[in-house]
Chains A and B, each alone.
Chain A
Amino acid sequence: MPLSLNYLLKRLLWSAAVLVGVAVFSYVVIILSPGDPAAKWAGNPRGPGAAKAVEEARKELGLDLPLHLQVLNFLRMVFTGNLGYSIAYRQPVFAVLARNLAATLELLFAAYLIGVPLGSLLGVAASLRRGGSVDGFLQTLGLALASTPSFWLGMAVFSALFSAGFSAYGRVSTGLALATGFQAITGFYLLDSLLQLNIPVFVDALARLLPPALAVAAYPTGLCLRLSRALVADALLEEYVRAAVAWGVKRRVVVWKYAFRAALPGLVQVAGTAFAYSLIDAMVVEYVFGREGLGRLLFDAIAFSDFKLAIGLLVLVAAFYLAVNTLADVAQALVDPRVKL
């Protein structure tokens, strides 16, 4: 599995170039939309400091410069991580984004750790009963899971738990966090609480993480179910698998070491790409469960007319997509002996 440095370098350069394009696009949105770009950048301020704030925004964006210099200036701002101070949080935009990215990633990881294995296993089960009613049912289930609106599922889960007496709100109980002196270190609460040997917070954070994770996991479960069913079913028809069966290899080994192994590269790549799409699902579900994270930033950016935060979010999400896609391709190449890079 030669993973050439050349390929990796080319991919990285290409992704960087695309990211530049994304930044340019966002700049175009700022400039071309109706209204004064400087006022928008400053968050439509009011009161006595307003004129000054707009003037500062004008300088920051370099609106008096010729167009190509404006764009370059903006690109510089984006890529040095200096988009200024978020209006909603009064902190540097990238600091706010970084802090909240961890929260959303934790949710995404949890969702995929549940969804991908679950979906794949169900898919294998369906492929073994190919053509039967169980197979049909599972395939439809897969489609249904992938067609469920995540925010609605999140609300259903939340409401069901609530009537059973458990509020899955937020990431951790603030009272508990205060009482046990919990500190956020990495931003991944499960990790942080273990690092501080803070079991009550660990249990609490886990309990609040699972319900939203289940809501986000619906899509990858459905996806992996259908995909693994298709791939494994095909693989089981392949010559070498039939040969193995004829040779008397144990059924379990055939299914898992041969057929499933063959399906793995495809699963990895699809799951990897889907991981990027699920970011949005995670953000919406975060909003439903009142968790801190990129979803809340989305909401606050609107509430405070925080253009800087919105642009930062846009660039971050694009960077995330590109990174995940590259990683997924690389991972697939590593797993699939047939792909030569």
Chain B
Amino acid sequence: MSAIRARFNSAAGFLDLAKRAWKKSARFRAGTLLVGIMVSIAVLGPHLAPYPLDGWGVVPRNAAERAGKPPCPEFPFGTDSLGRDVLSRVLVGARLALVQIALVVSVSLALGLLVGACAAYYKGPVEALLNYVSEIFLALPAMVIALALRLALGQGLHVVVVSLILSWWPWYARSSYVYARAVVEMEYVLLARLAGVPGRTVLFRHVLANVLPPVLVQAITDLGSVLLEASAINFLGLGLPPDAPDWGIIVQNGFRYIVSMPWISMFPGVFILATALGFSLVGDSLREEMDPKMRRRWKLWF
């Protein structure tokens, strides 16, 4: 019950939490800064890039002279084997990175919350079935799902996104189920039902509103973890095609040349790290701020 001592139940509440965290925690400030930089790059990327066409994967006209240059004033991150400016590629890649993770986390969050809340509310066989299904996907990491989907559907963004959603939603389902179970027992829910308010409304208004806050904080950390997994899936060639402007793909392009042109893989990796770290810092400090006791729940540590 104490876990439901939600520190906020509205957007205003969330902002309060954020302001408090900003004042107290250096890590929160650092994280927000990192995330802010990455989001701005994502939005402005193609305009910031010195060679935007390179960024989108187009092979430049004078590729032969340009290819494989180490970092220099003209190309701060060097050029890849086909002469494209790595800085531009990384800047343009920010957009796809954020799109992928935003899509995955938002859909898994929505799906998971719904499933968990339904399981808690409807109980009985529905509960058992939904728990069973979420256990199935809890046991499957995104990589192997991506493998199966890649063989079945071919390459593409859908493989990455779908496999990640399929492997991620059960986490939210489980968390929301645990919270929702307690909320459902609370008196006002029972009273609302007795008063004839339809089940769905009760669900949305009371259960979800109470479940959302801590899970939302978890979701922020997850944005970072999803980025790491999505990059790994793209790196192995299971997801996006090799000319996509994606950080994982750029690392893959540079893999073959890791000895002779290490900068191709190095720089996008730093950006992946920085973005994931940024989200982790924000999520971690928010969680500390919200309810220090929550760190006893081991499962939220991932």
Contact = CB atoms under 8 A, between A and B. Distances in A.
Direct contact of A and B (CB under 8 A): yes
Interface of A: 14, 17-19, 21-22, 25-26, 29-30, 33-35, 40, 136, 139-140, 143-144, 146-153, 155-156, 158-159, 162-163, 223, 226-227, 230-231, 234, 266, 269-270, 273-274, 277, 279-281, 283-284, 287-288, 298-299, 301-302, 305, 307, 310-311, 313-314, 317-318, 321-322, 325
A266 B295 CA distance: 10
B136 A317 contact: no
Given A149-B228, A322-B139, A158 B151 contact: no
B148 A156 contact: no
A269 B149 contact: no
A319 to B, nearest CB: 8
Contacts of A148: 273, 276
Nearest to A268: B298
15 contacts: A25-B136, A25-B140, A29-B149, A30-B152, A33-B149, A35-B152, A149-B272, A156-B266, A223-B301, A280-B143, A302-B150, A311-B148, A313-B147, A321-B138, A325-B139
Contacts of B238: 302
A34 B149 CA distance: 11
Interface stretch (B13-21, B65-73, B79-87, B251-259): B251-259
Interface in B214-234: 224, 228-229, 231-232
Interface residues of B, number: 52
Given A234-B295, A284-B235, 11 more contacts: A18-B136, A149-B276, A151-B251, A152-B272, A269-B298, A301-B151, A302-B147, A305-B151, A317-B140, A317-B141, A321-B140
Contacts of A302: 147, 150-151, 237-238
Contacts of A163: 259
**Looking at B138, B141, B266, B281, which has the most chain A CB atoms within 10 Å of its CB?**
B141
Interface of B: 26-27, 30, 132-133, 135-136, 138-145, 147-153, 224, 228-229, 231-232, 235-238, 251, 255, 258-259, 262, 265-266, 269, 272-273, 276-277, 280-281, 284, 295-296, 298-299, 301-302
Contacts of A270: 298, 301
B269 A144 contact: no
Pick the 3 closest A-B CB pairs, nearest first. A33-B152, A152-B269, A147-B276
Contacts of B136: 18, 21-22, 25
Contact of A147 (B224, B251, B295): B224
Contacts of B143: 280, 283-284, 298
A310 B148 contact: yes
Contacts of A287: 236
Nearest to A153: B269
A283 B236 CA distance: 10
B27 A314 contact: no
Contacts of B273: 144, 147-149, 152
A146 to B, nearest CB: 7
Contacts of A22: 136, 139-140
B140 A40 contact: no
B152 to A, nearest CB: 3
A133 to B, nearest CB: 10
B159 to A, nearest CB: 11
B185 to A, nearest CB: 23
Contacts of A298: 143, 147, 236
B156 to A, nearest CB: 13
B27 A139 contact: yes
Contact of B262 (A33, A149, A159, A273): A159
A311 B138 CA distance: 17
A21 B132 contact: yes
Contact of B251 (A18, A33, A152, A230): A152
B281 A143 contact: yes
A34 B228 contact: no
